[in-house]
Amino acid sequence: MGRGVIRLKITYESWSDPSTDFIVDDEYKGALNLLGWAFEMYGEELVYACSFGIEGIVLIDLISKVKPNAKVVFLDTGLHFQETYDLIASVRKKYPLLKVEMKKPEISLKEQAEKYGEKLWETKPDRCCQIRKVLPLQEILSQATAWISGLRREQSPTRQSTNFINKDENFCSVKVCPLIHWTWNDIWNYVEKNQLQYNPLHDQGYPSIGCQPCTLPGDMLTGSRAGRWADKEKTECGLHQAKNQ
Ligand code: SF4
């Protein structure tokens, strides 16, 4: 996409489908142009919800090229691997201007256990995700017009129709997805070429890293989300379950 092609501000309320205006024939498969456009369009009203997985590391590096002081939010469920928290500390050092917010749920793990029983992620994972991820993100997005997500079409059948700019029915927002055309190999090539630090759990066979109780090693060759909620039918945490995944 040539920057400036879409001049009207696209919001959830004034939605009109802009995806046909984008081209992907540059080395970033459209990602950098899209990010440039999005920060120009939304400024401080654009937030990146980052899980600090491998796509997140790539996106943060791309974002730093167009908006070094972008807002990044991490949904801190209190259940992440120590490696993830360590990585966030390193990212903060490498990109000191980035505004990283650790967004916590309204209730602590102790309060959750008292109210719903121990290990809610085993008994009712949807409710656990709702409390610890969906509601906190809802609160963040109530203050924003658009958000950035690292979804890639290749990741799962439910993500194949994701566009660069999506009407997000889940959060009544606009979801900007710069990496939709990137393959698993593209992601790793970028990481290697730019010598980016990443979560060491990837080297232990985890393609997708979420909360510790719900993440097992998966298929590192394809980067599939196998390994998340591995023994359950659940495949999404609720952040991307709208019609427009
Ligand atoms: Fe709870 Fe698991 Fe969802 Fe994390 S991923 S919020 S532990 S159900």
Cβ(97)–Cβ(202) below 8 Å: no
- pLDDT tens, position by position, 117-137: 999 999 999 999 999 999 999
Nearest CA to ligand 1 atom 4: 211
Q: How close is the Cα of 232 to the center of ligand 1, in Å?
A: 12
Ligand-binding site membership of 50 (annotated):
no
How many CB atoms within 10 Å of residue 192? 9
Strand partners of residue 74: 102
Complex-level ipTM: 0.99
pLDDT, averaged per 10 consecutive residues of the chain (245 residues), comes to 64 81 76 94 96 97 98 98 98 98 98 97 96 97 97 92 94 96 96 98 92 85 64 69 46
Residue 132 Cβ contacting ligand 1 at under 6 Å:
yes
Q: How close is the Cα of 14 to the center of ligand 1, in Å?
A: 33
**What is the rounded CA–CA span in Å between residue 214 and residue 121?**
7
Residue 214 Cβ contacting ligand 1 at under 6 Å:
yes
**What is the rounded CA–CA span in Å between residue 60 and residue 231?**
31
Ligand-binding site membership of 172 (annotated):
no
Residue 131 Cβ contacting ligand 1 at under 6 Å:
no
Sequence-distant (6+) residues with CB within 8 A of 203 are none
- pLDDT tens, position by position, 82-113: 999 999 999 999 999 999 999 999 999 999 99
Q: How close is the Cα of 125 to the center of ligand 1, in Å?
A: 6
Domains of the chain: 19-214 (3.40.50.620)
